[in-house]
Structure 1
Amino acid sequence: MRPFLAVVCYFFFWQVSLAQITMETVRAEEGGMELYATNTGNVPYTVLIDYTELTNLNSIGSSGIVVARPGKSKVLTLKRVTESQSTNLRYTYSFIKGDYSRRSKEETVYLIPLPEGTVATGIRMTHIENRLQPKEENTDYVGVSFRFGLPTEVVAPRKGVVSEISMDKYSDKNNLDFDRGENFIELFHDDGSLTKIMVLSPGSEKVKLGQVVFPGDVIAESAGESYNSGLHVRLANMKPVKDGTTKLKYEMLPMKFVSKEGVSDVAEIQELVVVHPDEVVTAEMSKKEKKTYEAGN
């Protein structure tokens, strides 16, 4: 392995909700109530309902956390408890992108989001709080960075729906450790999680919102020339979870990547050769998608 100078990578995450989620209450049969959600986005959102008044009503199949699919859908049924008594309902709600309820059937393996044959250095990222010299190091998992030598294409690391694109940030700064205005493309996956692919060249996106992409599909061009660490791409995978009784947050999920050297969670700095094995590329495809892929190869 060639000599390598370790450079710390910082990660900062902020929540952006592009969809407008609205809730509607409808009187149901036998005195109950039904809640409908309208989601103007192209992927599901997790919605947390906080009841400020719930009189003579019980929810069926939910504890107040529901999923709003794209479009309009019924998300909750409230049944009247005592027929002779009146009912009343007041609530507030919050929401974030992603589906808390979905689970992956098998362990997911990611492609390193670069063309096959690229030599990249994988680095486990550290939380930006550590840059502020805290008394204790924040060891929370926040994603992985891959460094490489020459400008290149960036590809999708796994199958997903393009759920957000932010590619209009131009930086005139140099010697950066971190830039809050990083360009990114976000993918929504069948397991309900989201992967954000960051540090992309402005205006270089090759995909559009709502598009389904597959592992290895080109999504943008690389960037990072203005960073101390040079050209690199960062990835973070996250999923909605309940934080206490009245809040939602994202839980950062560890990722495993395939390379010529094997499958690794990049716990240590590693030099890796990018490969795109068919079994990883097709792992999340439907039977129809897999058949189309195999016919073209």
Structure 2
Amino acid sequence: MLRLVFSFLLVASLVCNIYAQITLEPERDSQQNVVIYAVNTAKIPYSVIISFSDLQNITIPGGSNVTSVASPGRSKVATLKPTMAGQSTNYRYSYSYAKGSIFGKSKFAPVYLIPVAEGTAVRASVNTNISKVVKSEVNADAYVGVSFHFDAPTTIVAPRKGVIADMKMDFESTSDNLTFTAEENFIEIYHEDGTLTKLIVLKSGSQKVQIGDEVFPGQDLAESGGNHYQNGIRVMMVNQKVEKSDMDKFRYLYFPVLFATEEGNQEIKAPTQLTVAHPVEVVTMELSKKELKQFQEGK
């Protein structure tokens, strides 16, 4: 039997996260506008597309759909105005949503920490798209993140400031010599520029954070896993952002990032040996004035 000895990651087109609860609540105001509110029970923003199949005496910006962002809690996502005052209105809609903010932007180009303890020697490699192995697909060479391999178990840390968006930490393998499994433990972080970082292959039950927690660069998240893999212990890191396709549907785009290393900031494009560095300028890059003061006082 052929044994596959590299890391892969399945690229999926994710429209809605089944664990999120995004609901819409239309209301009429005193001017007979229809104001649509989104109720988001998650701890992070979600992007929403509202598609209208029937509009009678109603005008909306953008034609037949509205793209908005639902903040945690209850927030306004659309306003439908009567085209002709004093006449009846009617509308029909459906909606889809995806994790993250489609309108999020960075104030500067972010730099990420390699998500393990400072001083750790790692072997970095770009993940192989599973489509390249089991299928002949157009996007088989698409970027799907980076793996960091190390010789001994270590602590996995936050690569960047953010909010814990999701996690799964109850998987324990009953097999050895695995290549990859979709059941693997992970912790996902939402960043204020609307993007997400997913850290995969973690020790079951080792999480030191909860969903909704704010985390800072270098903060302990969990312990490493991977003893049951052919390539040994490692952590996989995937960065993604939500975007709108030509068909007015959501999809996730995976993208490379700059990592802080002892040799300077660099993108991982090929297998390489690195020593993990946590430069102060990277750790403090996104801190508020209050957070920076607390960081300096805690040193």
Q: Tell me the TM-score normalised to structure 1 length.
A: 0.94
Greater shift, 52-61 or 34-43, is seen at 52-61
Q: Which amino acid aligns with 2:278?
A: H
User: Which of the residues 9, 12, 15 maps onto 1:11?
Assistant: 9
2:25 matched to 1:24? yes
Residues 17, 97 of structure 1: 8 Å contact kept: no
| Aligned-partner Cα distance in 2 for 1:136–1:249 | 16
2:217 matched to 1:215? yes
| Aligned-partner Cα distance in 2 for 1:137–1:89 | 38
> 1:55-85: per-residue Cα shift (whole Å, max 9, x none)?
2222258951111111111111111112243
- Identical-residue share of aligned pairs (%): 43
Residues 185, 200 of structure 2: 8 Å contact kept: yes
Q: What is the deviation of 1:173?
A: 1.1
- What is the RMSD computed on CA atoms of the aligned residues? 1.8
Q: Which residue of structure 1 lines up, in the alignment, with residue 117 of structure 2?
A: 115
Q: Which residue of structure 2 lines up, in the alignment, with residue 287 of structure 1?
A: 289
Partner-residue secondary structure (3-state), 1:284: coil
User: Which of the residues 68, 72, 75 maps onto 2:74?
Assistant: 72
2:31 matched to 1:36? no
Residues 31, 87 of structure 1: 8 Å contact kept: no
Q: Which amino acid aligns with 2:49?
A: L
Q: Which residue of structure 1 lines up, in the alignment, with residue 144 of structure 2?
A: 142
Q: Which residue of structure 1 lines up, in the alignment, with residue 47 of structure 2?
A: 46
Partner-residue secondary structure (3-state), 1:190: coil
For residues 35 and 282 of structure 1, do their structure 2 counterparts lie closer, same or farther at Cα, with a shift above 3 Å needed? same
Residues 123, 269 of structure 1: 8 Å contact kept: yes
Residues 165, 184 of structure 1: 8 Å contact kept: yes
Residues 243, 249 of structure 1: 8 Å contact kept: yes
| Aligned-partner Cα distance in 1 for 2:57–2:110 | 44
> 1:188-216: per-residue Cα shift (whole Å, max 9, x none)?
10001111000000000000111111010
| Aligned-partner Cα distance in 1 for 2:261–2:72 | 36
For residues 243 and 136 of structure 1, do their structure 2 counterparts lie closer, same or farther at Cα, with a shift above 3 Å needed? closer
Partner-residue secondary structure (3-state), 1:30: coil
Q: Structure 2, unaligned stretches of length 5 or more?
A: none
Partner-residue secondary structure (3-state), 2:31: helix
For residues 245 and 211 of structure 1, do their structure 2 counterparts lie closer, same or farther at Cα, with a shift above 3 Å needed? same
Residues 201, 225 of structure 2: 8 Å contact kept: yes
Matches within 5 A, 1:220-231: 220-231=222-233
| Aligned-partner Cα distance in 2 for 1:17–1:222 | 27
Residues 104, 191 of structure 1: 8 Å contact kept: yes
For residues 244 and 173 of structure 1, do their structure 2 counterparts lie closer, same or farther at Cα, with a shift above 3 Å needed? same
Q: Which amino acid aligns with 1:9?
A: S
Greater shift, 279-288 or 244-253, is seen at 244-253
Q: Which residue of structure 1 lines up, in the alignment, with residue 204 of structure 2?
A: 202
Residues 60, 76 of structure 1: 8 Å contact kept: no
> 1:153-209: per-residue Cα shift (whole Å, max 9, x none)?
100000010011100011111111111111000001000111100000000000011
Q: Which amino acid aligns with 1:237?
A: N
Matches within 5 A, 1:180-195: 180-195=182-197
> 1:214-252: per-residue Cα shift (whole Å, max 9, x none)?
010000000111111111000111111112334211111
| Aligned-partner Cα distance in 2 for 1:87–1:39 | 27
User: Which of the residues 276, 279, 289 maps onto 2:278?
Assistant: 276
Q: What is the deviation of 1:30?
A: 2.8
2:263 matched to 1:264? no
Q: Which amino acid aligns with 2:262?
A: K
Q: What is the deviation of 1:265?
A: 1.0
Partner-residue secondary structure (3-state), 2:77: strand
Q: What is the deviation of 1:263?
A: 1.4
2:56 matched to 1:58? no
Greater shift, 204-213 or 74-83, is seen at 74-83
Q: Which residue of structure 2 lines up, in the alignment, with residue 3 of structure 1?
A: none
Q: Which amino acid aligns with 1:160?
A: G
| Aligned-partner Cα distance in 1 for 2:289–2:134 | 49
Q: Which amino acid aligns with 2:205?
A: G
- Equivalent residue pairs, number: 292
